[in-house]
Amino acid sequence: MNISRSDILVILPLSLLLVMGLVMVTSSSIYIADDMTSNPFHFAKRQALFISVGLFSMTFFLILPSDFLLRSDWIFMLLSIIFLIILFIPEVVSRAGALSLSEITSMKKGALMIPLPNSIDNHQYENAKKIEDMGMGILHEEDEDISNLTDKTSKQI
């Protein structure tokens, strides 16, 4: 397989961006991951897995013949439209950060809020509690039993 200069001009920046992204994720999350999971490289491993899946997908689609992709483009378009429709389903499952909740409340969507248990001053729990008190969502803590969620949901409906 011949690698041309134009291939190198694409592969080199792609590789640099992937490495820089992995370094940034690792450096910004090493202490949080250590506190949450006792593994400082938890998020770095997840990011490396996502990069691997992306590179595998890219390689898969590069190997496929282009005429096959041209004939089946309507399938990919249909899948894209279906995934976009799924985004507009009214209920949202989210953490209880201030920005997430402000978006949810501005869109007037109901929410299932699962606050981050290690948040500073337990602010995510407080945020979710206020939204739940206003009747705009359901607060469910990570360590809570799933049967409690069923009870809360049936009360909300």
pLDDT at 154: 62
pLDDT one-digit tens code per residue, 81-103: 988 877 666 567 778 888 878 87
Instruction: With a cut of 80, say whether residue 60 has pLDDT above it.
Output: yes
* Residues 150 and 111 reside in one and the same domain: yes
Amino acid symbol at 66 = S
* Residues 83 and 103 reside in one and the same domain: no
pLDDT one-digit tens code per residue, 11-26: 899 999 999 999 999 9
Look up the pTM and report it. 0.51
Q: Which long-range contacts (C-beta less than 8 Å, at least 24 apart) are formed by 28-33?
A: 32/118
Burial environment of residue 138 by CB neighbours within 10 A (0 to 12, 13 to 18, 19 or more): buried
Report the alpha-carbon distance of residue 6 to residue 51 in Å, rounded. Answer: 23
pLDDT at 156: 59
Domain extent at residue 82: 5-87
* Residues 42 and 76 reside in one and the same domain: yes
pLDDT at 155: 64
Beta-ladder partners of 92: 111
* CB distance 115 to 125 below 8 Å: yes
> Which among 87, 103, 121 is the end of a domain?
87
Instruction: With a cut of 90, say whether residue 61 has pLDDT above it.
Output: no
Report the alpha-carbon distance of residue 17 to residue 23 in Å, rounded. Answer: 10
